[in-house]
Amino acid sequence: MIALLLALGSSLAYGCADFVGGLGARKAHVLRTVLIAAPASLAVELLLWPVLGASFGAGALGWGAASGVASAAAFALLYRTLAIGPMNVLSPVTALVSAALPVAVGLLQGEHLGAAGVIGLPLALVAIVLVSAGQGAGAARPSRTALLLAFGAGAAIALQLVCLHQAPAGSGVAPLIVGRAVSSAVTLAAAGAMRRRLGAERPAYAMSAAAGVLDSVANLLFLLAVRGGDLTVVAVITALYPAGTVLLARGVLAERIHRGQVVGLGAAALAVSLLALA
């Protein structure tokens, strides 16, 4: 149950980070936003070091670095995906893949689900698709390239989560620190290579920093959750993060929640309840 609550907290934090980061990215080029968010995120993880400890062994360094590379790849693929295709079709593809692959890894590693989990797990995957999709999800047909990029973005997100799960349980926050340092370095290199195309607009500093802090909180809660529970359950609950983004958009921006998303939110609540019983 504690792992379940941590996974729900991780999902909510990821959803809030996406919402705040998305608002910040409207002010300037997205790389400018990330250049503020990444140091803020790393600062949080460094502050957690004395509290939660960190052991920089070979496992923590290797899996942490791999998660950082996957995180940077996920960022690049996700934004490229959403730039060239219909978001209401491609976002569910990305979210579904990001959940399904860790579930497959967990099952292959010998994790088992009870009867309630066997029902709740596929229901949660359906909920992810419904909540992620906007109005008229079938109105526009994405290109094959866009679909491949969406799949790649989801796979990169999934790989990041799996790498964090594989890091040694006694390594504390070391995998998070290493991963964030690596992803920040990759992002900085990308920004340097694209500096002429970033524009002169200033980023929204407060929102960008808040997105980074929330992302660190989400990563930490996920790491704690998988250390105390099954990757199969934790990953699929974490992947419900679009629900938090949708609810924030409704409350803050007064955006309409479409009928399919309402059904998805209900399915998500039922799926979490079933997984709790499992």
Q: Which pLDDT belongs to residue 86? A: 60
Q: Report how far residue 121's alpha carbon sits from residue 232's, in angstroms, rounded to the nearest whole number.
A: 8
Cα–Cα dist 189/210, whole Å: 22
In this prediction, residue 142 carries a pLDDT of 67
- Of the chain, the percentage scoring pLDDT greater than 90 comes to 28
d(CA 191, CA 200): 13
Q: In this predicted structure, what is the pLDDT of residue 117?
A: 81
Q: To the nearest whole number, what is the mean pLDDT of the chain?
A: 84
Distance of CA 246 to CAs 213, 249, 255, 266, Å? 20, 5, 8, 13
CB 243 within 8 A of CB 131: yes
Decide: 80 and 190 in contact? Cβ < 8 Å.
Answer: no
* pLDDT tens figures, 179-189: 999 998 988 88
- How far is CA 210 from each of CA 118, 149, 207, rounded to the nearest angstrom? 37, 27, 5
Q: Is there a contact between 203 and 28 (Cβ–Cβ < 8 Å)?
A: yes
- 146 vs 63: which has the higher pLDDT: 63
Least confident of 24-28, 148-152, 153-157, 183-187: 24-28
Express each pLDDT in 43-56 by its tens digit. 999 999 999 999 99
Which has the higher per-residue pLDDT, 51 or 72? 51
Q: For residue range 217-256, list pLDDT tens digits in order.
A: 999 999 999 998 888 889 888 888 878 877 887 788 777 7
For tokens 């992803």, name the residue: 183
Res 17: pLDDT: 84
The pTM for the full model equals 0.85
Measured distance CA(271)–CA(251) in Å, rounded: 24
Taking the CA atoms of the chain, what radius of gyration do you get in angstroms?
Answer: 18
Q: What is the pLDDT at residue 36? A: 85
pLDDT, average across residues 167-182: 94
State mean pLDDT over 92-96: 79
Residue 139 has pLDDT above 60, yes or no: no
Assess whether pLDDT exceeds 70 at residue 83: no
Distances from the Cα of 6 to the Cαs of 13, 37, 53, in angstroms? 10, 23, 19
- Does residue 134 have a pLDDT over 70? no
Q: What's residue 137's pLDDT? A: 46
The two structure tokens encoding residue 149: 């990029």
Higher pLDDT, 39 or 222: 222
Contact between 176 and 220 under an 8 Å Cβ cutoff? The reply is yes
* Helical H segments across 53-203, by residue range: 58-84, 87-108, 115-132, 144-166, 174-193
Work out the number of other CB atoms within 10 angstroms of the CB of residue 239.
31
- Of 25, 26, 27, the closest CA to residue 37 belongs to 25
The CA distance from 65 to 181, in Å, is 8
Is residue 115's pLDDT more than 60?
yes
Say what the pLDDT of residue 89 is. Answer: 62
pLDDT digits (tens, 9 = 90+) for 191-226: 788 777 777 777 778 888 998 899 899 999 999 999
